[in-house]
Structure 1
Amino acid sequence: MMTERIMVERPWTFEELAEVTTGTWYSNTVSTNCLIEGVTVLAGQHQPNNLVSVRSSDEKGGLPLTVLKSLHAKTPVKYLMCTTPMMDEVSGFNLPILVVKNLTQAVIEIGTAARVKMRGTVIGVTGSAGKTTMTAMLAQMLSVYGSVVSTQLSANLPFGIAWNLASVKPSTDYAVMEMAIGNMLKNSKIVRPDIAVFTNIGAAHLEYHSTTEDVATKKSRIFQGMAPGGWAVLNRDMQHWEIVSQYAQAAELNILSYGVSGEADVKLIGYQTQTGQVDIELNGMPLSYHLTALGKHMVLNSMACIAVSSILLSPAASNNINLALEELNRFSAVDGRGKVHHLTIQSKSFTLVDEAYNANPLSIISAIDLFKTFPEKTTSRVLILGDMLELGQDSVKLHLELVPVIESSGADTIYLYGQQMKQVYECLNREKNHVFYFETLTALQAEILANLKDKSLLLIKSSNGMGLHKLVKNICDLAE
């Protein structure tokens, strides 16, 4: 699948965008002068030749007028898209305006059309935990083989996927798209992956998807947008392997598995936490490499990446797998998902592991496993946990199932925050463990700083909605 291609980069024409969106242009500029190369729905991702989507206060799918004015003052905008009610508001910019019926649907249509224009390999990533890290790791590894784009801002629902794809050049070698369970069938029809990667299946978003069987079934809809003969890279150890693999087979896909299981195609043989050395077998061939990113979950991610690499590489180019292994070693965890900070506050040096972006039982167990095996020598290990959100009617049960995991974490001190974690607090053995519960982030932060020890390890893990990412930021901001 890795082939050299010579392609002409052709921007969107007025005619194409009008046809794709069923919209109408209002402009004195002829279509041959059109140089639209993408779509802007957020000011921070704007590029000079993008079509800027502008929304009213009661619409979704674009920039508010005030943000447009600010953006235009800094970086002159060239093309606008809006609905009819906004025409009078934006006409004063004297720019070509594409008027559409619905901004959200227009962006989705542009993204879908952009995928059709692509000639590179598109990889879709899904799973209950670790999607964003897997996407980032895959993109970094693939950069040694060609041009790569990947999902920005974890925008993994139809609208976000579409605006990511809308700015992809047709000649891009690889696109790695994160795909959420929500509207998965629609996500798959937009992305149309050549390769689908599953990280795992577990208890996540059960507020909307009642059982883990439902999660496995709905996530397997990723295969419905794929052509027969494509590839499914699946975690052989994941819950409901049978469900997911059967759906992949029904879609006439090739399956390449990875994991600890002896039945895995990419099989973990050993992992040394102190050195980061990983030993695996790839279809029976031994491979050894090193990872800077810490934790067994990172090892499994890297194995999925190697599986993808083996699909893309022709047998004659098999030595190029070493390029992938070297790049994987350079990968570092991203903010909120295991990023390691080495900080000093009031002459006390310590390590902070930031896992504050998301949490479900799978990811908390992985984080605590990292906490237990963290390779640096420490004087104190502090575990800070907030609630796991969106777990539905089983939320209390799933939180309480963490009690033995927390008690065996090896933590010297445990700080808990959130209503669900309060119930965990009440079930922990407080005579054996130094456990504290906090009603506010302010009180939690004060306690952490007051008892901070030199050469200590802090791990912060919670769902993003609990706000512990603010605690991470505050601590980092206080560092010398």
Structure 2
Amino acid sequence: MHISEIITAVSGKCLNPEKIGNNLITDITLDSRKNVNAGLFIPLAGEKFDAHDYINQVYNKGVIATLTSIDKIVDDKLITILVSDTRQALLDLAEYVNFKFDRKIVAITGSVGKTTTKEMISTVLASAMKVHKTEGNFNNDVGLPLTIFKTTSEDKVSVLEMGMNHFGEISKLTKVAKPDIAIITNIGTSHIENLGSREGILKAKLEILEGLKLEGKVLVNGDEPLLVNASKGKGWITYGLNKTNQYYATNIKYENTSVSACLHTPKDTYEVTIPSPGEHMVKNTLVAVAVAEILELDKHTILKGITSYKSEKMRMQISTYNDVTIIDDTYNASVDSMKAALQVLNKFETTGRKVAVLGDMFELGEHSIDLHQQVGKEFKDLNVDCLYTVGNYASEISNEAKKYNVYAKHFINKEEFVKSILENIKPKDVVLLKASRGMGFEKIVESIKKGE
């Protein structure tokens, strides 16, 4: 982009306009340490640092222009563009870039399942077209713009994940992305500490509609009453396991590393084997089929895409080390995702023990005790031999599970559990590991793999 384009997009003012010339920006960076070519530096202020402090270091990294919210030139070698707020300018620039590329945009939000849904949709669509998607968890007001900046003229569709912790956050993201298709996977309890109730979470997720194009489609989990009751009618499509949905599944059969089902759509039926376990994967596949049909992919292409799906790291990854089968679902956790993971363990066929290692779920606030107890209540109907819990609130899971004659033992932290790992994990065991990201359960996974 030409510098003048950027100034217009961010409603900025160049403090040294004599330097603009015919300069073009080919790279955008938020990291003062990163080497770029003809780059624009956007300094953001965080809780612990302000990147404005590093403006004088970026010229040697290939940066030729910088935004700033401080009305002064720090380095006269840089074209300096003054804006009122660099974080808002980042969003404004992303909105401008997004408009430059003609493609379909699919936006996904929900309490759980955003990433696996994004991956399944992207994999199915990639069988027919060039797909641009959110990488990792770049789904906030910084990650979404960085994702959009990576769009190319070859991309036919963008599949964008939108996360949030507070009201108003998805509103900002959807106004930047302007989706053709908006998806809400479910309304759970993630971030209930900030949003107050599931009704509050619903309100925050529905913000995704604020940027939806006029003739856009809305795909919602029709097994979730809160979402069904929120339906606006025309343009709303439901998917789920119940036959009342427009896209639904029957004949679900579970395997250790896959799940098969018959998917029913308004246009066709699909006999599928999904290469990842769990009932939740059937729903993820249903919504992927719905998106593919809206974008007019043919049945053969859709089926080919489904079989190409691969689980992302730390998300329902199944492997065997030292005769121990590990179900690594440690990326994050909420009540709903805990329950879904426990069902995968419950249905796992094995000659050894079924062991659950569960940790704290974060951002539950005053609901923490009750929601951890809810997970413990699940053990009433589970065929699980052993439960180990780790953390502060996870003890509530153990205490509740013990009421149903489940062998359960609690550890105050992962280091204590790892110390006795050879006593707790035996050959032939199938071990599910799940906790919120901040618990660092990947260290337990590595210890089991090493057998120490």
Fold shared per TM-score above 0.5: yes
Work out whether 1:369 is the aligned partner of 2:343. Answer: yes
Return the alpha-carbon distance in structure 1 between the equivalents of residues 35 and 294 of structure 2: 34
How far the C-alpha of 1:31 sits from its partner, in A, is: 4.7
Partner of 1:285: 268
Residue identity matched to 1:452: I
- Please identify, of 411-420 and 445-454, the stretch whose mean Cα deviation from structure 2 is larger: 445-454
- Pairing 1:71-82 to 2, within 5 Å after superposition: 76-82=61-67
Is 1:140 aligned with 2:123? yes
5 Å-filtered alignment, 1:265-414, equals 265-274=246-255, 276-283=259-266, 285-313=268-296, 320-343=298-321, 348-375=322-349, 377-414=350-387
1:230 aligned residue (210, 216, 237) = 216
**How far did 1:414 drift?**
0.7
2:245 to 243, 255, 264: 264
Q: Which amino acid aligns with 2:327?
A: V
The answer on whether the counterparts of 1:201 and 1:215 sit within 8 Å (CA) in structure 2 is yes
Which amino acid is 1:34 matched to? L
Map 1:428-439 to 2 at 5 A. Answer: 428-429=401-402, 432-439=405-412
Equivalent-residue separation in structure 2 for 1:50 and 1:56 (angstroms): 19
Q: Could you say which residue in structure 1 is the equivalent of 2:89?
A: 106
In the TM superposition, residue 82 of structure 1 has moved relative to its aligned partner by: 4.0
- For the residues of structure 2 that align with 1:191 and 1:122, how far apart are their CA atoms? 7
- 3-state SS of paired residue (1:458): strand
Please report how far the alpha carbon of residue 35 of structure 1 lies from its aligned counterpart in structure 2 after TM superposition: 4.2
> Quick one: structure 1 residues 270 and 431, their matched pair in 2 at CA, closer, same or farther if it must change by over 3 Å?
closer
For 1:401, what is the secondary structure of its paired residue? helix
Q: Quick check: 152-161 or 27-36, which moved more?
A: 27-36
Give the SS at the match of 2:323: strand
Contact (CA 8 Å) 2:391, 2:414: kept in 1 or not? no
TM-aligned CA deviation for residue 132 of structure 1: 1.4
Q: SS of the residue aligned with 2:420?
A: helix
Q: Distance in 1 between matches of 2:176 and 2:36?
A: 23
Larger deviation, residues 385-394 vs 164-173? 164-173
Q: CA deviation at 1:57?
A: 8.0
Q: CA deviation at 1:198?
A: 1.4
Which whole-Å deviations, capped at 9, do the CAs of 1:62-101 have from their partners, x for residues lacking one? 69749966xx88xx5243424265977655xx45554544
Distance 1:154 1:84 in 2: 27
Question: Who is 1:20 aligned against?
Answer: 9
Aligned residue for 2:155, secondary structure, equals coil
Cα deviation, residue 308, structure 1: 0.3
Secondary structure of the structure 1 residue equivalent to 2:393: helix
Structure 1 residues 83-162: aligned runs within 5 Å: 83=68, 90=75, 94=77, 96-162=79-145
Separation of aligned partners in 2, 1:465 and 1:68? 32
Identify unmatched segments of 5+ residues in structure 2.
Answer: none
Change (3 A) 1:474 1:149: farther
Alignment correspondent of 1:7: none
Question: For residues 430 and 388 of structure 2, what CA distance do their matches in structure 1 show?
Answer: 13
Q: 1:450 to 1:429 in 2, by over 3 A?
A: closer
Q: How many residues end up aligned between the 2 structures?
A: 446
Gaps spanning 5+ residues in structure 1: where?
Answer: 1-11
**Aligned-pair CA distance for 1:385:** 0.6
Distance, in Å, in 2 between the alignment partners of 1:446 and 1:90 is: 53
Instruction: Tell me whether 1:215 sits opposite 2:196 in the alignment.
Output: no
Q: Which residue of 2 aligns with 1:5?
A: none
What RMSD in Å do the two structures reach over aligned CA positions? 3.0
